[in-house]
Structure 1
Amino acid sequence: MSKERVRERTDRPARPFRAHRDVLDAAPDPLSPVGAMPPIISITGLSKVYASGFQALRSVNLEIRRGEIFALLGPNGAGKTTLIGIVCGIVSPTEGRVTVDGHDIRAAYRKTRRLIGLVPQELTTDAFETVWATVSFSRGLFGLKPDPGHVERVLKDLSLWEKRDSRIMTLSGGMKRRVLIAKALSHEPQVLFLDEPTAGVDVELRQDMWRLVRRLRDQGVTVILTTHYIEEAEEMADRVGVIRRGEIILVEEKAELMRKLGRKQLTLQLQSPLDALPPALAVHRLDLSADGSELTYTYDSQGERTGITALLTDLRAAGLRFRDLQTRQSSLEDIFVDLVKERA
């Protein structure tokens, strides 16, 4: 298609990116909890053993809710990419069952694959094609009619519109990753898998991507992401799952996870250093710094106001004065590291 025809067919006001009609019909009622709806993805007893004998997944059971952002976290080799590959129909499972929107991924392969968009880790795309051509072609692979207006909206949402006539080989790594996301959205999927989507992407591009992810979630698209930037999962995810050595060791609402497993620390900078912790303070969970100038009190995120009050009272009774104090709350990354160490 010539550039003139493309521009002629897209010379109309661009509408916001729209999810597939099935997504909008299935989008959660804002007055109803997301968890009350049937899961968009259901995984039961899923295992994968490769020909080499390596067991990548071990009896995984997991449900992904409609319209949520689900972060799947785990160290390298934990099984994240294998799990995504099975759900997307790229890897064959050894045991277990997976359904997408109620359809078995093997019995209804075409139906389920049509519902899913995948952004892989690797930058694999046709280097000699233009951005416009490769995204349009990806839509055609799912048997959909050409829709230049939709392709235009996707490219504009990803700040690729000015690059639409550029060959893939001329783009930067961050722009190539944007093209992968555009290809994954070309057929208007209900589920979007993002496997390390911001690897090698600069901060500005990363923020643009997350704005798009939020819009997709708001329009009913379910987003499952894996990332090494755990602060992104902390900011974006509704729920968090942790996988280690092929096993799901935790699935929790992000806010509840932070509340239950997070910790807070109160650090007191003393006016005069201590040689040792006074016996009267032994009842508190205190750590004295090596130089004796700081006391650190650790407590859970659910709060121990009475504990802090008692600590300050005992400090005064012991004749200790402090000149400054600082508080710190554990991040999702801290919780993740603790979980992985604990199960090691």
Structure 2
Amino acid sequence: MKQITEKENFMMFIHGEQPLWVPRYGMAADKYSKYPPAVLPVTASFLNARRTPEGGFDTWGVPHIATAETGGAALPVPNNFLITDITKWRDIVRAPDMSRIDWASMAKKDLADIDRENTAVVGTLHVGYFQQLMAFMGFSEGLCAMFEEPDEVKALFQYMADFFVEVTKKMIEYYKPDLIELTDDTAAAKNPFISIDMYRELIKPYHYQQTKPAVDAGIPVIYHNCGRCEDFIPDWFDLSIVAWNPAQIMNDLDGIKKRYGNKLGLIGCWDSSGPAGWDSASEELIKGEVRKTIDRFAPGGGFCFWGSAYGPATDPRTDNRKRWLTEEYEAYGRTFYNK
């Protein structure tokens, strides 16, 4: 049999086929792996021009702060909100000027370190419409705005969507991504932040607009949504979503896999908040969790492993946990379908 690449194996999963081995997702190359990454996210770098290792500012000027405990991931600075009155958003929110961007040069630079033959590129854009509103206003005021001033929220989201649709089109033209990712965390650990009706009225139209250029170009769309967001899954198919990450365990993942089969690929399914995600997790515990996750979700395909180990980069336990994850995935996941 012809040897296929990590990318080709991952794309088999994306297309609903059973891959030759359990593919692995990730946000960056893994220094412990013997293999090139199957997939890497790429963002048009001008969107993150004001980001810094300490946090910096997002595309819209919201200040962020990074923490060691999250491995350098940045969140909006608490209680420092750009918008306090949703009816005044037009005085505050400004989309970046794209008129002078050299897209060809930017794409060449942003893709320079990626081996396109072996690694699929997923084009990413922003944190999402719901999540950005919460960054602008905080959850209390942001949710009140959605309830009290829905027309203003829709006007803001349309302004954002107009910008991101153009970015998507440019990325498709110049970056030629293998996939496009939609992102929006619309749920907490126990329940969605909003009702399905509110999602359909206030957010889904802009998700649809943003994904349409990719769908029209025949590019698969994947969706990042944390928390217990399974209530929204039927609507995702209207957006042509083919896979979902990180598919967290507070959702009925067994039921979802049974109901949708390989129509909706599950990326993740890792218990990141359980004992295997703790700083003190042992090698035995982590490797056992890797096997358990693969045994549970890999049969029949429709599953891509994405185990994670977060913590301070200076803590050797963080590196140990990452190494153990990789060792067991490569020993067990890459031979799973050969049994």
TM-score w.r.t. structure 1 length? 0.30
Q: Which has the higher helix share?
A: 2
- Computing the radius of gyration from Cα coordinates, the structure with the larger value is 1
